[in-house]
């Protein structure tokens, strides 16, 4: 969230507001104030602007609830959430990784639009039963009804990266068993939708209304994100056969836990690679870091053993030797790790660096994206 204002956490999920959100917040207030002036000309200026500000704030609360529903279902389905960020085009839930099966993908995607439609139903019902259709709160409720209804319907359009596109991908994935084929179909639909909105918005702006500019911006954004999503998934597909073990350091050493740290073999291994694995007769195995050895008084080296100095694997972030390379890169980027021990069946079998993983990713990057 480097370009965002950190607001705290909701249900343990970090919440931030991108600086671009301030632009759209001001624009929404202006547009709502203008609309209230058109429909309620008898309202005093101060009341009109106050109502617009309240409506805009509640609108973004609605967007937050939409994204929060995605995040809570993702966490419930075992997908960690790094945070929620509100930005110029609405909001985004930053999932640590994509769903591994069609059903979680479907549930995480569909709950957002359903939340927006439920909010529209609540706001519409409250508006209808208030009876006083010229009051300030009536205007707020009707506006929230309209925007949440629009948000729910728009997000269910079947094109990636919209929620409807993810629902489409989940359905095709479930029917065909191919995540890659489902992604291709959903992305193509998203690109087509983005082009349609981009062209239609430009035409509307030229021949009709200023609001067409906003439609064209949304279309351009959808086209960009859909294409970026295709590139990422194409790269993931090209790396499908590569595992973390393919990028492990060749100079990795694992030694018995009873070996003294002053042993020449230990010192040579640490000087060569900076890390070495420690194997003990019973769990847990561990890892010794050369930097930790440097903090140990030299006169104790001949008495201390690797088992005493090691950090247990259970307390370290580790990678599975058979894990996918692309997933490992994403995980290390998210955790800010430069290197990590690699394990197989609870035994340390190597060390992998983020730089080496990225090098393997770059070497397999497809020549053509589309």
pLDDT score, position 69: 95
Same structural domain for residues 29 and 123?
Answer: yes
Q: Is 12 left (phi over 0), alpha (psi -120 to 50) or beta?
A: left
Q: Is residue 370 part of a domain?
A: no
366 with 342: CB under 8 angstroms?
A: no
Does the pLDDT at position 87 exceed 80? no
Kindly state whether residue 366 falls inside one of the protein's structural domains.
Answer: no
Quick one: pLDDT at residue 183? 92
106 pLDDT exceeds 90? yes
CATH number, residue 305: 3.10.580.10
Q: pLDDT-derived band of residue 109, with 50, 70 and 90 as boundaries?
A: very high
20 & 95 share domain: yes
H or E element that contains 297: none
Q: Is the dihedral of CA 7, 13, 14, 18 positive or negative?
A: negative
Q: Which DSSP string do the residues of 114-183 spell out, in sequence order? A: HHHHHHHHHHHHHHHHH--TTSHHHHHHHHHHHHHHHHHHHHTSSSTTSHHHHHHHHHHHHHHS-HHHHH
pLDDT digit string, tens, across residues 323-362:
888 788 877 877 778 888 888 887 888 888 888 887 877 7
Q: Are residues 255 and 221 in the same domain?
A: no
| Residues 88 and 160 both lie in one domain | yes
Query: Are 230 and 279 part of one and the same domain?
Result: no
Residue 367 lies in a domain: no
pLDDT at residue 260 in the model: 86
Same domain flag for 14 and 33:
yes
Residue 176 has pLDDT above 90, yes or no: yes
Whole-number percent of the chain with pLDDT over 90: 28
**Same-domain check for residues 66 and 192:** yes
pLDDT(208) > 70: yes
Using the 3D structure, point to which of 238, 263, 290 is the last residue of a domain: 238
Q: What is the pLDDT of residue 110?
A: 96
Q: Is the pLDDT of residue 90 over 80?
A: no
Q: Do residues 226 and 295 share a domain? A: no
- Among candidates 80, 100, 98, which has minimal Cα distance to 161? 98
Residue 165's pLDDT is 94
Same domain? 231 vs 141: yes
Whether residue 337 lies inside any domain: the answer is: yes
Which is higher by pLDDT, 348 or 250? 348
Mean pLDDT, the chain, rounded, equals 84
For the cut 70, the answer to whether the pLDDT of residue 1 exceeds it is no
Whole domain around residue 14: which residue ranges? 4-238
The residue from 238, 264, 287 where one domain ends is: 238
Number of domains the chain is built from: 2
pLDDT of residue 120: 96
The answer to whether 127 and 55 are in contact (CB under 8 A) is no
Domain assignment of residue 369, yes or no: no
The answer to whether residue 370 scores a pLDDT higher than 70 is: no
Helix axes 179-207, 211-238, angle to 10 degrees: 160
More confident residue, 365 or 301: 301
Does residue 325 lie in a domain region?
yes
- Each residue's pLDDT tens digit, 6-27: 888 888 888 888 887 878 888 8
pLDDT tier at 97, thresholds 50, 70, 90: confident
Q: Which of 206, 238, 270 is a domain's end point?
A: 238
Same domain, 56 and 162: yes
User: What number is the average pLDDT over the span 183-192?
Assistant: 93
Average pLDDT over residues 124-149: 86
Percent composition of the chain: helix, strand, coil (DSSP 3-state, to 5): 60, 15, 25
Given a cut of 80, whether residue 281 has pLDDT beyond it is no
Q: Considering the domain boundaries, does residue 316 fall inside one?
A: yes
Q: Does pLDDT of 88 surpass 80?
A: no
Confidence of residue 369 (pLDDT cuts 50, 70, 90): very low
d(CA 119, CA 114): 9
Q: Which pLDDT score, from 0 to 100, does residue 121 have?
A: 96
pLDDT of 67 higher than 90: yes
pTM: 0.75
Compute the average pLDDT of residues 268-294. 75
Q: What is the pLDDT of residues 42-59, one digit of tens each?
A: 888 888 899 999 999 999
Judged against a pLDDT cut of 60, whether residue 2 lies above it is answered with: no
Q: Are 30 and 139 in a shared domain?
A: yes
- For residue 108, tell me if it sits in a domain: yes
204 and 65 in a single domain? The answer is: yes
Residue 43: what pLDDT? 86
């Amino acid at each position: 969230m480097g370009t965002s204002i950190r607001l705290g956490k909701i249900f343990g999920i970090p919440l931030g507001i991108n600086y671009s959100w301030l632009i759209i917040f001001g624009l929404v207030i202006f547009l709502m104030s203008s609309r209230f002036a058109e429909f309620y000309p008898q309202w005093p200026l101060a009341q009109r602007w106050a109502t617009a500000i309240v409506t805009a704030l509640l609108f973004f609360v609605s967007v937050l609830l939409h994204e929060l529903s995605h995040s809570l279902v993702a966490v419930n389905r075992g997908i960690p959430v790094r945070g929620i960020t509100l930005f110029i085009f609405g909001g985004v839930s930053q999932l640590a990784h994509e769903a591994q099966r069609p059903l979680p993908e479907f549930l995480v995607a569909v709950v957002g639009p359903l939340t927006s439609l439920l909010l529209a139903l609540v706001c519409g019902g409250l508006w209808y039963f208030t009876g006083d259709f010229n009051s300030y709160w009536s205007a707020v409720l009707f506006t929230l009804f309209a925007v949440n209804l629009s948000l729910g319907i728009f997000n269910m359009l079947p094109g990636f990266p919209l929620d409807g596109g993810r629902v489409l991908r989940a359905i095709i994935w479930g029917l065909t068993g191919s995540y890659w084929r489902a992604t291709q179909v959903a992305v193509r639909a998203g690109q087509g939708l983005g082009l349609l909105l981009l062209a239609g918005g430009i035409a509307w702006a030229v021949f009709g209304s200023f609001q067409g500019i906003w439609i064209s911006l949304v279309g351009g954004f959808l086209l960009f994100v859909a294409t970026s999503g295709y590139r990422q998934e194409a790269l993931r597909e090209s790396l499908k056969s590569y595992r973390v073990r393919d990028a492990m350091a060749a100079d990795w050493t694992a030694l018995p836990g009873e070996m003294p740290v002053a042993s020449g073999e230990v010192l040579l291994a640490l000087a060569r690679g900076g890390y070495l694995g420690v194997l003990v007769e019973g769990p847990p195995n561990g890892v010794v870091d050369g930097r930790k050895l440097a903090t140990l008084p030299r006169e104790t080296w001949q008495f201390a053993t690797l088992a005493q100095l090691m950090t247990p694997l259970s307390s370290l972030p580790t990678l599975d030797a058979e894990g996918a390379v692309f997933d490992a890169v994403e995980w290390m980027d998210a955790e800010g790790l430069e290197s990590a021990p690699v394990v197989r069946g609870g035994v340390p079998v190597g060390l992998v660096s983020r730089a080496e993983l990225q090098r393997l990713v770059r070497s397999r990057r497809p020549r053509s994206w589309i």
